[in-house]
């Protein structure tokens, strides 16, 4: 594939910039902690939405990947990624028809179920095509989103799966999403251990009931290193660590480096203490707070509309005369607050390979919302 390459001067803004060396250091920092151990890493690709980064994760030792929706699975499978776990329940005839088409070519795509209704939909669609899918029970270990409850409800659902010949139960998933951004490290670890004990206990009870449970999967960037030491866990699903973001940095400090920024241009200097930049709600997500200026800790960013953001500082404390005085045309970098939803706003990464040139990599799975 021929690659577009831009110099820093040629970059237009707002633009997603990726520091590939920092990305690779983040990948290595996490993968190295798991290498050779009993717990595998199955990174969640909803963050990066790009097979290019998936390949780097697999090359570093990832055992497979997670995706959040079918379109992401389709993009990754088309790019040659085989062991894909879709971590969200799938329902509805159009989606099930697409899943059948995907499974015909890619038998290692795995799905999750948390109810007989979801299992029935899958089973009917697969049976009609003569296919069998590997399935994980999705457990609610405290997030209270999807998920069957651990213990007896999970055992009963697993028994029901025995009468769905197109579904082969191979594991359990339980995502402690409510703990990922828990700022109190002690509470995060204690609650994570409690949640994962429910997950591991259910896996054991399922095995005792005759089910082959070889995958016990959980964890995110905020808990992956805790999960590693929890008994019975076979793999973790972190995603954000690849690029990091401001929300996770508030929780994890410098465990991983902010490797992705949004480059923006100053378009107005209307008042002392404020500069208006061209990155607003349509290039930086706000669901986890606001982005942070990378090189200017004394400035705060806030969105000011779809295509505007305001950088504000104290002009008395800082002094308008002190460096750097921003002028129209200046460019600076913002660290997104939530990396997943910010990447989702962009069609292209600008990947710095040698610190000078930027390769344009597509955010292949974005836009395909289904």
Chain residues binding a copy of itself by CB under 8 A are: 9-15, 46, 68-69, 88-95, 98, 114-115, 117-118, 121, 140, 144-148, 177, 265-271, 276, 278, 281-283, 285-287, 303-308, 310, 327-329, 331, 340-341, 344-347, 366-370
Compute the least distance from the CB of residue 206 to a copy of itself, in Å.
19
* Cβ density class 239-252: b for 16+ within 10 Å, e for less: bbbbbbbbbbbebb
Cis ω before 237 (30° cut-off from 0): no
Task: Closer to a copy of itself by CB, 56 or 98: give it.
Answer: 98
Compute the least distance from the CB of residue 109 to a copy of itself, in Å.
17
Task: Closer to a copy of itself by CB, 30 or 90: give it.
Answer: 90
Compute the least distance from the CB of residue 339 to a copy of itself, in Å.
11
Task: Closer to a copy of itself by CB, 178 or 249: give it.
Answer: 178
Distance in angstroms (rounded) separating the CA atoms of residues 214 and 82: 18
Q: Are 242 and 60 in contact (CB under 8 A)?
A: no
Q: 3-state DSSP call for residue 32?
A: helix
Q: 3-state DSSP call for residue 129?
A: helix
Number of alpha carbons in the 13 Å side-chain half-sphere of residue 26: 28
Token pair for 48: 């990066």
Task: Closer to a copy of itself by CB, 11 or 357: give it.
Answer: 11
Task: Closer to a copy of itself by CB, 14 or 34: give it.
Answer: 14
Cis ω before 215 (30° cut-off from 0): no
Token pair for 52: 């290019």
Give the CA radius of gyration of the chain.
22
Task: Closer to a copy of itself by CB, 91 or 187: give it.
Answer: 91
Compute the least distance from the CB of residue 84 to a copy of itself, in Å.
15
Compute the least distance from the CB of residue 280 to a copy of itself, in Å.
9
Q: Tell me how many degrees the CA angle 335-13-291 measures, rounded to the nearest 5.
A: 20
Compute the least distance from the CB of residue 270 to a copy of itself, in Å.
6
């Amino acid at each position: 594939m021929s690659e577009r390459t831009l110099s820093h001067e040629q970059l237009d803004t707002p633009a997603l910039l990726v520091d590939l060396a920092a990305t690779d250091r983040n990948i290595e920092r996490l993968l190295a902690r798991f290498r050779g151990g009993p717990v595998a890493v199955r990174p969640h690709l909803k963050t990066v939405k790009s097979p290019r980064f998936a390949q780097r994760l697999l090359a570093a030792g990832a055992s497979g990947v997670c995706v959040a929706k079918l379109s992401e699975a389709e993009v990754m499978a088309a790019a040659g990624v085989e062991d894909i776990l879709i971590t969200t329940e799938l329902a509805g005839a159009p989606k099930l028809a697409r899943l059948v088409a995907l499974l015909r070519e890619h038998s290692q795509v795995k799905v999750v179920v948390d109810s007989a209704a979801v299992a029935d939909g899958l089973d009917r669609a697969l049976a009609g095509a003569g296919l069998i899918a590997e399935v994980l029970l999705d457990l609610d270990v405290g997030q209270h989103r999807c998920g069957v409850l651990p213990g007896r409800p999970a055992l009963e659902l697993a028994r029901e799966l025995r009468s769905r010949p197109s579904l082969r139960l191979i594991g359990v998933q339980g995502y402690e999403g409510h703990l990922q951004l828990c700022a109190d490290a002690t509470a995060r670890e204690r609650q994570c251990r409690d949640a994962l004990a429910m997950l591991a206990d259910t896996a054991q009870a399922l095995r005792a009931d005759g089910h082959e449970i070889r995958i016990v999967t959980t964890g995110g960037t905020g808990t992956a290193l805790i999960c590693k030491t929890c008994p019975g866990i076979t793999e973790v699903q972190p995603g954000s660590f690849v690029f990091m973001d401001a929300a996770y940095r508030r929780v994890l400090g410098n465990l991983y480096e902010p490797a992705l920024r949004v480059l923006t241009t100053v378009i107005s200097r209307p008042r002392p203490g404020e500069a208006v930049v061209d990155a607003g709600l349509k290039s930086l997500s706000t669901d986890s707070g606001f982005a942070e200026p990378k090189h200017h800790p004394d400035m705060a960013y806030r969105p000011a509309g779809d295509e505007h953001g305001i950088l504000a500082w104290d002009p008395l404390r800082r002094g308008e005369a002190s460096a750097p005085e921003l002028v129209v045309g200046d460019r600076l970098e913002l660290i997104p607050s939530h990396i997943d939803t910010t990447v989702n706003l962009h069609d292209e990464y600008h990947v710095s390979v040698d610190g000078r040139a930027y390769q344009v990599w597509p955010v292949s799975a974005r836009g395909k919302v289904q």
